[in-house]
Amino acid sequence: MSRPVALVTGCSSGFGFLLAEPLARAGHTVYATMRDPDARNAEPARTLRALADQGLAVRVLPLDVTSDAQVDAAVARIEKEEGRIDVLVNNAGVMFGGVTEALTAGEFDRQFQVNVVGLFRVTRAVLPAMRRQRSGLLVHLSSIVGRIAPPFFGAYVASKWAVDGLGESLRYELAPLGIDSVIVEPAPFHTNLFAEATRPADTARAAAYGPVGETPGQLFAAFDNMFATMKAETDPQLVVNAIVGLVGTPAGQRPLRTVVGAMHMGAATVNERTQDVGKEMLGMVGLGHLENVATAKASLAT
């Protein structure tokens, strides 16, 4: 049997960059995608391409999740070269942080274009192949703020709530087709996400908040301190390990949501207390068999 094929978005840094090697070592052919691999992201692209010298099946492709043309081209190339796509890791994302009112409408839109619309664009592109195979796995990188709502990250929080809801809804729709959809919810981890977070452009609006407007800066400083003093707890490899574990788990046995990190700020508690809500909802509308791939398969066998 040929090696399973994984497409990972946002591999220029963070979880995506770190995921390519262990996923390849676990037996996958990994297509590590990113924006501008031959220009602004040439260095991480070179590092990932060098893994092939170690005998690892890692390929680097250009893919901007906000571009229909790039997404379609990348997926078409993978299907041509491999004939299948078994795993999609929707990792690409950006963060806007600060006084929410100070975001422009364009900035709010950008947050959703990358984190939500871009995720949907790539998911929609790979699903035809997975449907033909009657198998596949979608891994959506959400966040603990997809379950809780801290202040001063309003646009980012809203985008991750959207990702969380989309990932759950897709799970039920795709279960009868043998396709799994799971959500990974990391706590704060020491990646470039916070360092590269975009602050709102309307500084006058932020200044109008007075001392309250200074709170976002204090929050970012607190995160920097946490990353410096809690290195083991905020090591992004923990998230990578969780994703590799989910990929290696048989279909039908993967949990819908996986929180990673000790500083989950109550998100794990939310998941624990609401874990039966989806099942109850499905039961009320006569769709209990759609709970996961295993229950859907069992219903088709009866």
Residue 84 has pLDDT above 90, yes or no: yes
Residue 302 has pLDDT above 80, yes or no: no
Q: Could you tell me the pLDDT band of residue 140, with boundaries at 50, 70 and 90?
A: very high
Active site residues: 12, 142, 156, 160
Pairwise CA distance, residues 181 & 115, whole Å: 17
Q: Could you tell me the pLDDT band of residue 192, with boundaries at 50, 70 and 90?
A: confident
Residue 129 has pLDDT above 90, yes or no: yes
pLDDT of residue 1: 54
pLDDT in tens, 25-36: 999 999 999 999
Calculate the alpha carbon distances from 10 to 6, 202, 272 in Å: 13, 28, 29
The residue that leads in pLDDT, 274 or 196, is: 274
pLDDT of residue 292: 96
Residue 126 has pLDDT above 70, yes or no: yes
Query: Taking a C-beta distance cutoff of 8 angstroms, is the pair 234, 80 a contact?
Result: no
Pairwise CA distance, residues 61 & 253, whole Å: 31
**Of 264, 94, 276, which is closest to residue 184 (Cα–Cα)?**
264
pLDDT of residue 195: 82
pLDDT of residue 143: 97
pLDDT in tens, 56-74: 999 999 999 999 999 999 9
Residue 141 has pLDDT above 80, yes or no: yes
CATH number of 5-276: 3.40.50.720
Give me the percent of the chain exceeding a pLDDT of 70. 99
Domain ranges in the chain are 5-276
- Both tokens of 291, joined, read 């709970």
Residue 301 has pLDDT above 90, yes or no: no
Q: Could you tell me the pLDDT band of residue 49, with boundaries at 50, 70 and 90?
A: very high
Report yes or no on whether pTM surpasses 0.85. Answer: yes
Cα-based angle 104, 160, 19 (whole degrees, multiple of 5) = 115
pLDDT in tens, 210-235: 999 999 999 888 888 989 999 999 99
pLDDT of residue 31: 98
Q: How far apart are the first and last CA of the chain?
A: 30
What is the pLDDT of the chain when averaged over all its residues? 95
Calculate the alpha carbon distances from 279 to 80, 274, 288 in Å: 38, 10, 6
Average pLDDT over residues 138-143: 98
pLDDT in tens, 259-279: 999 889 899 999 999 999 999
Q: Could you tell me the pLDDT band of residue 194, with boundaries at 50, 70 and 90?
A: confident
Residue 130 has pLDDT above 70, yes or no: yes
**Count of beta carbons in the 10 Å neighbourhood of residue 94:** 18
Pairwise CA distance, residues 126 & 138, whole Å: 9
